[in-house]
Amino acid sequence: MKIIHFVSEPKLNIKVTLVNTTNINQYCSVGWFVSLLVREEVLLAGLCERKILFQLEIYDRLRQAIAKRTG
Protein backbone atom coordinates (compact mmCIF):
# COMPACT_ATOMS: atom_id res chain seq x y z
CA MET A 1 0.00 0.00 0.00
CA LYS A 2 1.31 3.44 -0.91
CA ILE A 3 0.48 6.79 0.68
CA ILE A 4 0.61 9.87 -1.49
CA HIS A 5 2.01 12.90 0.32
CA PHE A 6 1.48 16.33 -1.21
CA VAL A 7 3.88 19.18 -0.46
CA SER A 8 2.93 22.64 -1.62
CA GLU A 9 5.66 25.25 -1.91
CA PRO A 10 5.01 28.95 -2.60
CA LYS A 11 5.03 29.89 -6.29
CA LEU A 12 6.20 26.42 -7.31
CA ASN A 13 4.54 23.33 -8.65
CA ILE A 14 3.07 20.77 -6.25
CA LYS A 15 5.44 17.88 -5.49
CA VAL A 16 4.01 14.38 -5.09
CA THR A 17 5.94 11.88 -2.99
CA LEU A 18 5.13 8.20 -2.68
CA VAL A 19 5.80 6.76 0.76
CA ASN A 20 6.00 3.04 1.33
CA THR A 21 3.89 2.06 4.38
CA THR A 22 6.11 -0.92 5.20
CA ASN A 23 8.99 1.48 5.87
CA ILE A 24 6.72 3.54 8.15
CA ASN A 25 5.80 0.39 10.07
CA GLN A 26 9.48 -0.54 10.44
CA TYR A 27 10.33 2.94 11.75
CA CYS A 28 7.42 2.78 14.20
CA SER A 29 8.49 -0.60 15.55
CA VAL A 30 12.10 0.58 15.89
CA GLY A 31 10.90 3.72 17.69
CA TRP A 32 8.76 1.61 20.01
CA PHE A 33 11.71 -0.68 20.78
CA VAL A 34 14.01 2.28 21.50
CA SER A 35 11.42 3.87 23.80
CA LEU A 36 11.08 0.54 25.62
CA LEU A 37 14.85 0.36 26.12
CA VAL A 38 14.95 3.94 27.40
CA ARG A 39 12.09 3.21 29.82
CA GLU A 40 13.90 0.10 31.07
CA GLU A 41 17.10 2.10 31.59
CA VAL A 42 15.21 4.74 33.57
CA LEU A 43 13.60 2.07 35.75
CA LEU A 44 16.98 0.45 36.42
CA ALA A 45 18.53 3.80 37.29
CA GLY A 46 15.66 4.46 39.70
CA LEU A 47 16.16 1.08 41.36
CA CYS A 48 19.90 1.67 41.71
CA GLU A 49 19.27 5.08 43.23
CA ARG A 50 16.79 3.62 45.72
CA LYS A 51 19.26 0.86 46.63
CA ILE A 52 22.05 3.39 47.24
CA LEU A 53 19.79 5.58 49.39
CA PHE A 54 18.68 2.52 51.37
CA GLN A 55 22.31 1.48 51.97
CA LEU A 56 23.16 5.02 53.12
CA GLU A 57 20.22 4.97 55.49
CA ILE A 58 21.40 1.66 56.99
CA TYR A 59 24.96 3.00 57.23
CA ASP A 60 23.76 6.12 59.07
CA ARG A 61 21.75 4.00 61.52
CA LEU A 62 24.76 1.76 62.19
CA ARG A 63 26.97 4.81 62.78
CA GLN A 64 24.44 6.22 65.24
CA ALA A 65 24.18 2.87 67.06
CA ILE A 66 27.96 2.57 67.33
CA ALA A 67 28.23 6.18 68.52
CA LYS A 68 25.66 5.49 71.26
CA ARG A 69 27.58 2.40 72.42
CA THR A 70 30.95 4.08 72.53
CA GLY A 71 29.81 7.56 73.42
Q: Is the whole-model pTM more than 0.85?
A: no
Determine what percent of the chain is predicted with pLDDT higher than 90: 32
Determine contact, residues 21/1, Cβ cutoff 8 Å: yes
CA distance 24 to 17: 14
Strand partners, 5: 17
For the segment 6-28, the average pLDDT, to the nearest whole number, is 57
Residues forming beta bridges with residue 2, ordered by sequence position: 20
What pLDDT was estimated at residue 6?
A: 43
- Judged against a pLDDT cut of 80, whether residue 12 lies above it is answered with no
Confidence tier at 60 by pLDDT (50, 70, 90): very high
